[in-house]
Amino acid sequence: MSSIDDGEKFALGTEGEQRPWQDAYRALVQSFEAGSGRRYVGHSVPRNDVLYKVRGKAKYAANIALPDMLHGRFVRSTYPYARIKRVDVSKASALPGVRCVLTAADIPDDRLKVGSLVKDTPILAKDLVRHVGEPVVAIAADTLEIAHAAAALVEIDYEPITPVLTPEEALKEDAPRLHPNGNLIANLSNAVGDVDAALARADVVLEDTYTNEPIEHSYLEPQGGISFIDPDGVLTLLVCTQYPHFHHKQLADVTGLPLEKIRVIQTVIGGAFGGKIDVTIECASCLMTLKTRRPVKMLLENEEVFSATTKRHTMKIRHRLGAMKDGRIVALDMDILADGGAYSSYSLIVAGRCVVHAALPYDIANVRARIRTTFTNNMTAGAMRSFGIVKLAFATESQINKLADELGMSPIEVRRINAVETGTKTVTGQILHAVGFKKTLDAIEPIYEERKKALAAGPKKPGVLRGLGLASLGYGIGYSGVRNPSTARIELTEDGIVIANCGTPDIGPGSDTALAQIVGEEAGVNIGRIRVVSGDSTKTDDSGPTSASRTTYFSGNAAMLAGRDFRRQFSDLLAKKLDVTPENIRIDNDQVIVNNKPMRFEDACATLGSDVKQIMAYGVFNPDSELDFVTFKGNPYPTYTYATQLAEIEVDIDTGKIEVPRFWAAHDAGRIVNPMGAEGQIEGGVVMGLGMALWEKICRSDGYIQNPGMRDYLLPGAKDAPTEITTIFIDNEDETGPFGAKGVAEASLIPVPAAVAAALHDAAGIRLNAMPMEAETVVKKLAARKGNKP
């Protein structure tokens, strides 16, 4: 078994397996090609990894085995906060079959700490543990059973310390300092205009506090990877991650090896949603491989995923909204206290995004936003779909719905009066372009009016209250306020395979397919011959992570530019070979037309022979997105997406159970590259949003997670999803995006909880400010409204 072949990330298999697939996939996509206009962009082409996935052949990390492979396992902290008095691994090390037992003592101090933004997270805990589940010891053994047995033999003496479990406690003067620089991870604020004066003269001031519970991403595939040393001596890590290039650089720091001696390849990934962007097994696995010179495979168990990987932040959002009688919002004041957990992870990014998004998608003259995120001894909070904005939208959109009720206005009209438009200046001073927000309101309005009438006129179900609610969003694409370029490089093989090397990995949504569509469109070749290689630190450039809905826009732009460059280089090269002028060569519909005579693309490649290697097409996209994080002035994102969503719910009066039979989502995501794929993003995001709104919560007690596994964590199933989800992509094109595209993935979830909350108020007259809006709470509120004690 060749290690490199097994390291091949490509979902569709190794080079040898590739050819039959190419033919099958080409046949599959042919039925989706349009006769005219754009051939690929805008068409629902099947995913380019789908054949492997439906056949059970996809190479997820768990499915890869290497000869001589060891199995790794962590021993984790059993306390939320404790001093480590003693770690004794002698019995574990002596167990036959144990090949490596790693503790913090084996790692030099200056290489011990890692992290996505701030290096504050020990690979293995030293002296202190800061949360339950923190790795203290790593073990590699001949079998997983031996690794488990050895883990049970590790002796760790702890001296428990009273944990800090809320941000309020963490901010107290006499609170223990959880990290050397204190307990604040983020303390950011921004103000424009005069909020206090505007609130004082507002006709209506609404004030409330909004909260949420921690959420587990609940990707189905647990974190996992395999590290090994390849025949060239390169430390290679196959891992399911959103950002292989980050691990590449970090592993260089941790191991002291030069970058060229390390390769990180993303395996086919079973979902991520922000949960596979931090360090879990990567460093420990590689260090154990370096010690043993053997492959090491580490896979988390479902319980570890729930108890020891990052969670969605909990936030307490104090919100004040001031408006005039005519519906104009004159002031927004928001103060957020967030629980960042034990280590900093992506807390700073989440905080920055909240401040920048405070008013969006509205044009409000006086805005003040502050967020403080603290360390606690809870499990670390990190990135999760929307980077915090779903909580912001729950607060702001709920406030705006209240305002509409207060003023007796339609919730659509209030939004329309305050909506941002092309040319609006945001709180950071950015002038917005290609804004389709009002069009999303226009799309939802007739449905809203029609359903309102239908519900009023429709037959009443006994014991069931029905209601409608809507909410909106504006969301910035890409990193917040720092440059984050993407590149694409295109090569060609003599037998006509176009290899597009793009850095950002496909983490499930189908971005590799979207990139192939963009390259195919721009280069004029059939996407069945395009092989997208993504997420490989050797074959691709660091193009940032797949996060923040950025891949279609950033890598898509780079792929488009590379496709253009490819077409030019190919024509020039063939012109030279055939001794014609390049202007007389065109590539169209997978044919090469030379002096008006078509030839098959393969034949043109064969004509070029080994000269095809001279083609090295390149595209880079590096938009000017910079923000001063002190003044909060600048252009934090190159573009923004917008949406308005409408929920129709039914509330059971006796049980408080909420069902969501119908849901509409109108999105401005720019030009849609793959409608079927984009719809899938919206539908999945809506159901994930419903989970957060109604059912999901990580239950914590004294720093321990009480429901660490799917059995006790309520994930929405097929019966919980709306029977009808209607996605509407409004007609809008962003000229800065590839073929007018913006981005899709995260926006889908953001308005959901606020829309459901509004529908609950419409149905039952109840306003809930805390997620999840559980049946028990609804029943109690219904009873209280009737004046009965439950």
CA separation for the pair 152, 112 (Å, rounded): 24
Using CB under 8 A, pick the residue from 352, 478, 505, 510 that binds another protein.
510
Where does this chain touch another protein (CB under 8 A) — which range of 43-51, 199-207, 284-292, 562-570? 43-51
Using CB under 8 A, pick the residue from 108, 231, 408, 717 that binds another protein.
717
| Minimum distance from residue 275 beta carbon to another protein (Å) | 10
Select from 786, 512, 492, 508 the least CA-distant residue to 612. 492
Residue 56 contacts another protein per CB under 8 A: yes
Using CB under 8 A, pick the residue from 455, 575, 676, 770 that binds another protein.
676
| Minimum distance from residue 90 beta carbon to another protein (Å) | 27
| Minimum distance from residue 695 beta carbon to another protein (Å) | 13
CA separation for the pair 667, 726 (Å, rounded): 11
Residue 684 contacts another protein per CB under 8 A: yes
Site for another protein in 400-439 (CB under 8 A): none
Where does this chain touch another protein (CB under 8 A) — which range of 310-318, 501-509, 643-651, 728-736? 501-509
Task: Give whichever of 569 and 681 is closer to another protein, judged by the CB atom.
Answer: 681
Task: Give whichever of 711 and 789 is closer to another protein, judged by the CB atom.
Answer: 711
C-alpha pair distances (Å), 641 with each of 170, 411, 477: 36, 20, 7
Single-letter code of the amino acid located at 55: R
Task: Give whichever of 10 and 273 is closer to another protein, judged by the CB atom.
Answer: 273
Where does this chain touch another protein (CB under 8 A) — which range of 33-41, 187-195, 447-455, 706-714? 706-714
Dihedral, CA of residue 323, residue 329, residue 331 and residue 333, to nearest 10 = 100
Residue 16 contacts another protein per CB under 8 A: no
Number of residues that bind another protein (CB under 8 A): 55
CA separation for the pair 325, 721 (Å, rounded): 38
Using CB under 8 A, pick the residue from 718, 787, 788, 789 that binds another protein.
718
Residue 509 contacts another protein per CB under 8 A: yes
Using CB under 8 A, pick the residue from 43, 47, 297, 781 that binds another protein.
47
Give the count of beta carbons closer than 10 Å to the beta carbon of residue 171: 15
Residue 597 contacts another protein per CB under 8 A: no
Asked if residue 58 lies in contact with residue 49, where contact means CB atoms within 8 angstroms, the answer is yes
Residue 593 contacts another protein per CB under 8 A: no
Burial group, residue 177, by CB count within 10 angstroms (0-12, 13-18, 19+): exposed
Where does this chain touch another protein (CB under 8 A) — which range of 245-253, 578-586, 619-627, 713-721? 713-721
CA separation for the pair 378, 131 (Å, rounded): 6
Where does this chain touch another protein (CB under 8 A) — which range of 44-52, 104-112, 289-297, 572-580? 44-52
Where does this chain touch another protein (CB under 8 A) — which range of 54-62, 189-197, 203-211, 420-428? 54-62
Task: Give whichever of 721 and 783 is closer to another protein, judged by the CB atom.
Answer: 721
CA separation for the pair 381, 391 (Å, rounded): 14
Residue 60 contacts another protein per CB under 8 A: yes
The H-assigned helical ranges of 31-177 are 50-54, 90-94, 109-112, 144-153, 167-171
Task: Give whichever of 51 and 89 is closer to another protein, judged by the CB atom.
Answer: 51
Using CB under 8 A, pick the residue from 1, 54, 456, 457 that binds another protein.
54
Residue 44 contacts another protein per CB under 8 A: yes
Select from 542, 490, 513 the least CA-distant residue to 242. 542
Using CB under 8 A, pick the residue from 15, 23, 260, 301 that binds another protein.
301
CA separation for the pair 284, 287 (Å, rounded): 5
Where does this chain touch another protein (CB under 8 A) — which range of 164-172, 192-200, 680-688, 728-736? 680-688
Rounded-to-5 percentages of helix, strand, coil across the chain? 35, 25, 40
DSSP string, 484-522: --EEEEEEE-TTSPEEEEESSPP-SS-HHHHHHHHHHHH
CA separation for the pair 517, 363 (Å, rounded): 36
Select from 613, 668, 248, 269 the least CA-distant residue to 432. 668
Residue 709 contacts another protein per CB under 8 A: yes
Site for another protein in 217-246 (CB under 8 A): 217-222
Residue 270 contacts another protein per CB under 8 A: yes
| Minimum distance from residue 680 beta carbon to another protein (Å) | 5
Where does this chain touch another protein (CB under 8 A) — which range of 41-49, 126-134, 190-198, 361-369? 41-49
CA separation for the pair 720, 538 (Å, rounded): 43
Give the count of beta carbons closer than 10 Å to the beta carbon of residue 683: 18
CA separation for the pair 307, 305 (Å, rounded): 6
DSSP string, 196-218: HHHHHH-SEEEEEEEE-------
683 phi, psi to nearest 5 deg = -60, -45
Where does this chain touch another protein (CB under 8 A) — which range of 165-173, 178-186, 453-461, 678-686? 678-686
Footprint of another protein (CB under 8 A) = 28, 44, 46-47, 49-51, 53-58, 60, 62-63, 217-222, 268-273, 301-302, 507-510, 676-677, 679-680, 682-688, 709-711, 715, 717-719, 721, 723, 725
